[in-house]
Chains A and B, each alone.
Chain A
Amino acid sequence: MDFRLTPEQEKLKAEFDAHFKEEAKRAPEGWFGGFETRFETEENWAYYRSVIHRVAERGWLSLPWPKKYGGRELGYLEQALFAQSAEYHRVPAIDVHLSIVSAGMLEYASEEMKQEWLPRMSRGEIDFAQCWSEPDAGSDLASLTTRAVEDGDDYVINGQKVWTTGAHRANHLFILARTDTSAKPNKGLTYFLSEIDKPGISIRPVYYMNGGHVCNETFFDDLRVPKKNIVGKVNEGWKVTMAGANFERSGAGGVAAMQRDLEDLVDYCKHTCRRGQVLGKNPIVQRKLADLAVKIEAMRQWAYFCAWQQTRNPMSYMEPSASKYYMTELMVELANTGLEIMGLYGTLKQGSKWAALKGKFEEQSQITLGFTIAGGTSETQKNIIAWYGLWLPRMK
């Protein structure tokens, strides 16, 4: 057992760190990282696009892919180092939608499709938004009812999707729709790609509880998608969806983001007086901060282990599920603890001269609520561990 990075990994890490440290300096006023913020304002989106452009130039959008599609063929640990570096510096360099689509595509798409799409994706030309969930199909995704019906060289899609994060910024959608209503729920689904600027697609904003425009609902009204835009085979979209889980899901990036937030919070507590006492000298505050530090440390060790497990078995479920569950719950805890420690100052929104840490925890205490729901709820992750890790019986 050896926890040391190889010289190549150290070199790569230094390269990532140097780049992101510089990129962080270009962030717009009030920027504090995270996945959602990029969609909220024009400035944030412009920053995100310019970051992605430079990341793509370095071949870092496609780190794990085979070289022939513009990839670097790097492993999960190296990807974890990338995520760690970007997230610590709060630079929006990770496109999870791209990771999901490319993982499914690499596994199941035709060679022709890969040739057509992957190089463009690696150049950062495609911003996907995800059309999976529906009003009546959340955790039970396979029960979705959006229909796709064959018509000549096309499929015609009708239905409604929700939680289409970033659809108002994206230029493409990836869509899961039902092509066979008689088969078992997960045997009649097909995975489509579509340009977003097409007749038959309408997008409506869904404002988050803090007022931010991140999510949307998307309506399909006779949307025509050419058959060549199907990833994998007709009625085999579920397999492609599942294969989309094969990307770096160790949580290393999230750990780095939390580490950075904790550093800021600790720093705030060291330099803030409340009722004549430095906040950081209050034993109760100390205990809260220390407990968060322990949990982040636990998650850090777990993330490395998880990346290591993924290296050995790309489709391992148990470890990434544990990562997703524990980390997102910890993010909620961190945000709420931060808000509480700051007291009334913690509740101030960004923009007020009185706002603590740019209103970071005021926003995070709301935004993180989506983290324990999106991408498989905490309960779903625990189900996965119980069913596919501990092999507990499943109620039929």
Chain B
Amino acid sequence: MIEMNKRFLLQAAVAVLALAAIAGCGEKQAPKPAEAPKAEAKAAPAPPPKPEPLKAAWVYVGPVGDAGWTFAHDNGRKAAEAEFGDKIKTSFVEKVPEGADAERVFRDLATQGNKIIFATSFGYMEPMLKVAGEFPDVKFEHATGYKTAPNMRIYDSSFYQDAYLAGIIAGKMSKTGTIGFVGSFPIPEVLRNINAFTLGAQTVNPKIKTKVVWVSTWFDPPKEGEAAQSLINGGADVLLQNTDSTAVLQTAEKNGKYAFGWDSDMSAFAPKAHLASAIVDWSGYYKKAIKDVMENTWKTERTVWGVKEGANDLIKIADVIPEEIRKKVQEIKDGMKAGTFEVFSGPIMGNDGKERLAKDIKADQAWKDKVDFYVKGIDGKIPSAK
């Protein structure tokens, strides 16, 4: 009998543990409830037939936090909310894993009456495509992907422009002549950034070398820090990263080297090491997309914005950077704004000695989508993505 009781207690205890774990997960994935009651309270005492607010939802891959990729998207959401006021009602779901869970979240959001849904990570592409087919009346927007549908379109930014500007600074600030890059995955987007960073640095110091270390993750601070440490140990003294945490910057600070912020202003995390922050501002696009739905002008297309449209910028340029370099960065930035300056202008040589872009030719979007090489000046080979 005592044995039975013990077994029962065990089962109860394990069940409680399991439930607590599940409850912990559930809480994060539910849309923020804070917004819902506010809107209801507004709707109740309004007898005149006011038009229903347009419901828009965002799906984030990480927590919003204080810095980084998801933080930047959420700032865009807030800007859209401020722009349209009570004409729209926004909500977001954070920390949605890429894969089967995402599909469920998209379906839930569509069923809840959202008319436009933004998916802010590459891995949401297939799940979103599937759900888009089931809800023809809902508009789906996917960041950084390449597949579209009649009611699903894609948008992207031009981070490589920021990386190029950062490169100009890195080329000047590097004393060892070696700069480092902590890469996430060897996809065209990241390779564009590494190449642009190197090309930018070469405009100041033609002999500069870039070392690259891949961490196979978007977000793993200890690993990003270890990768940064090994780059520094290998002689790199200015670092840039394509991962989302502040670990690379903090590792540079610890070692008395330089690095850049990525995605959002990270100057506070490393006052001495921080040279500038490459940022992305999605608010313009989010306003446009919601306006398209409101005015029935939404159509499937691909939008790539950059410095010209105010989507990308290099901000908080540190005081240690010499005046001539600041001027140079500003000049190039002005060229990007005017649309006259193209980062990838021929001749561009691969580090295998092959010419990748002929002289006097400016790269088009198709070329940029297929970048699969290191430019001259980068050490090593790209790990095969097979």
Partners in one complex: no
Interface residues of A (CB under 8 A from B): none
Interface residues of B (CB under 8 A from A): none
